A = this chain, B = another copy of it.
């Protein structure tokens, strides 16, 4: 096992082809330089240089070792620089949790913007429901979550990034699709509703239930699912109809139509993002800065 200084010394001698000149370049005298090279040769068990009393040349093994030595020295500089860039947020890794639907709105826009402006930031994307994201945040498994609602924990910071209205997902050829106008909530309530179960996606379940409750409607809930994907599969199979965020229409599920829902606010479903306030990840901070701008801009292009 040798030292980096021995590598530096060896490279200098190989390049100068002289112990004297190399020593001058390294701001030292020749004797210690000679000894360092000897130690290096002893530690790897080979002669790297042939010293004829007039010139110094590399052995074949020395030529190979010289290339490797240069690369190692270069890497030692690069490693420090890379770490400093990470600390400044110019490079690094952001681990992100996101719900299936989030990928279709401002979230995707944000990923692209960060990738374009800070190409040295890597993403690790994992799809998970809100509760799983909360656990993952607190457990330090992700840096940022795009979720429904914000967890109450006071170590978590968050902000609203997007809000949208609800639409009605119905099987193709469904009665409500034939009305020629957006159905009323009252009419929707007369059909079987496929909705989220309360446990895995509490936010969305309560949103839908309270929507009907406030209108004094009591629809028939036929199924409890945990993901929009499966919800839409059930709709496509004719099991029932569902209220889903508008973004879900982008999933283009087979045998499903989406209908506007009359007289409902367009900011009912909120997408938040959340992160640990005590995160030391500078890349996260930089990426959140870009998110601020993307969120501000996104309103102008929602009509895509």
How many of chain A's residues touch chain B, expressed as a range? 35 or more
Residues of chain A in range 15-70 having any CB-CB distance to chain B below 8 Å: 43-46, 48, 50, 59-65, 67-69
- Bound complex: CA A252 to CA B217 (Å): 12
Given the contacts A91-B64, A125-B223, A79 and B69 also touching, CB distance less than 8 Å: yes
The answer to whether A190 and B75 touch across the interface, beta carbons within 8 angstroms, is no
Q: Which of A150-158, A205-213, A276-284 contacts B (4 or more CB under 8 A)?
A: A276-284
With beta carbons under 8 angstroms apart, the residue of B59, B83, B224 that contacts A61 is B83
The answer to whether A80 and B282 touch across the interface, beta carbons within 8 angstroms, is no
Instruction: Enumerate chain B residues within 8 angstroms of A67, measured Cβ to Cβ.
Output: 140
Q: Count the copies.
A: 2
The answer to whether A127 and B68 touch across the interface, beta carbons within 8 angstroms, is no
Residue in B closest to A226 when the chains form the complex, CB atoms: B122
Instruction: Enumerate chain B residues within 8 angstroms of A179, measured Cβ to Cβ.
Output: none
Instruction: Enumerate chain B residues within 8 angstroms of A71, measured Cβ to Cβ.
Output: 75, 139-141
Instruction: Enumerate chain B residues within 8 angstroms of A127, measured Cβ to Cβ.
Output: 222-223, 239
Residue A84 is within 8 A (CB to CB) of chain B in the complex: yes
Instruction: Enumerate chain B residues within 8 angstroms of A83, measured Cβ to Cβ.
Output: 44, 46, 48, 61-62, 64-65, 68
Closest Cβ of chain B: how far from A304's Cβ, in Å?
Answer: 13
Residue in B closest to A221 when the chains form the complex, CB atoms: B103
Instruction: Enumerate chain B residues within 8 angstroms of A92, measured Cβ to Cβ.
Output: 60-61, 64
The answer to whether A82 and B68 touch across the interface, beta carbons within 8 angstroms, is yes
Residue in B closest to A225 when the chains form the complex, CB atoms: B125
- Bound complex: CA A220 to CA B249 (Å): 12
The answer to whether B125 and A199 touch across the interface, beta carbons within 8 angstroms, is no
Residue A115 is within 8 A (CB to CB) of chain B in the complex: yes
Scan A1-18; emit 1 where CB is below 8 A from any B CB, else 0: 111110000000000000
Pull 29 A–B residue pairs with CB atoms less than 8 Å apart, ordered by A.
A1-B76, A3-B3, A3-B4, A3-B5, A4-B4, A44-B80, A44-B83, A46-B84, A50-B280, A59-B87, A60-B86, A60-B93, A61-B83, A61-B86, A63-B93, A64-B91, A64-B92, A64-B93, A71-B139, A71-B140, A71-B141, A103-B222, A119-B199, A127-B223, A127-B239, A190-B252, A220-B250, A220-B251, A220-B252
Which A-B residue pairs are the 5 nearest by beta carbons?
A: A68-B79, A61-B87, A65-B83, A61-B83, A44-B80
